[in-house]
Chain A
């Protein structure tokens, strides 16, 4: 099925560990982004990319790295996990003119840092 695929769906990390959240889309979307959602909060932008080789920071980038080597993939790396990074992470993609088409979101990765 066409769409945005996130792996893993669930993950438990110990403080200080690193890991990579995977995001892949098969719709040839130029734009990809990562959000986190905390209880009682809206989604907050972590990093985004307007095309392969181009990334930029969002509202809450600290503690996270991204790269965009291909159009399809946009992994999010946690360098040294902290309990404050316990959250649900969503990857989203869209065509360049996202005003018209909105964003397609993945189903999320629920991360717990202990």
Chain B
């Protein structure tokens, strides 16, 4: 039973436009959420996080939105740049143990 779902395996966006990556979760006990970016042959890199008591968090070009009633979060990247091409993982946590990851979305930024 997959508790964190990223239903789009890949997403193609034109450079300069907005990229929107989506994530759904089923566990109501999750109380904070994170997004990671991963390049091939490298470890994931932390991008941005949000607590369940908030509905939005911004950091530069990256904004994460949380809709608790729908158990849905999204990552917005504006404007999209070629270096943003990578696999993006949504992750969630409910306490002292580790993170539960989605399967990832491969974002491709086209020139």
Contact = CB atoms under 8 A, between A and B. Distances in A.
Interface string B8-39: 01000000000000000000000010101000
B99 A90 contact: no
Contacts of A114: none
Nearest to B47: A102
A53 interface: no
Interface residues of A, number: 27
Interface string A80-109: 000000000010100000111111111110
A42 B103 contact: yes
B41 A108 contact: yes
A105 B101 contact: no
A42 B45 CA distance: 14
Contacts of A41: 103
Contacts of A101: 46
A40 B49 contact: no
B88 to A, nearest CB: 11
29 contacts: A35-B98, A35-B101, A40-B9, A40-B103, A42-B89, A42-B91, A42-B101, A42-B103, A43-B101, A45-B97, A45-B99, A45-B100, A56-B97, A58-B97, A58-B98, A90-B43, A90-B44, A99-B32, A99-B51, A100-B49, A102-B36, A102-B46, A103-B34, A104-B46, A105-B36, A107-B41, A107-B43, A108-B41, A108-B43
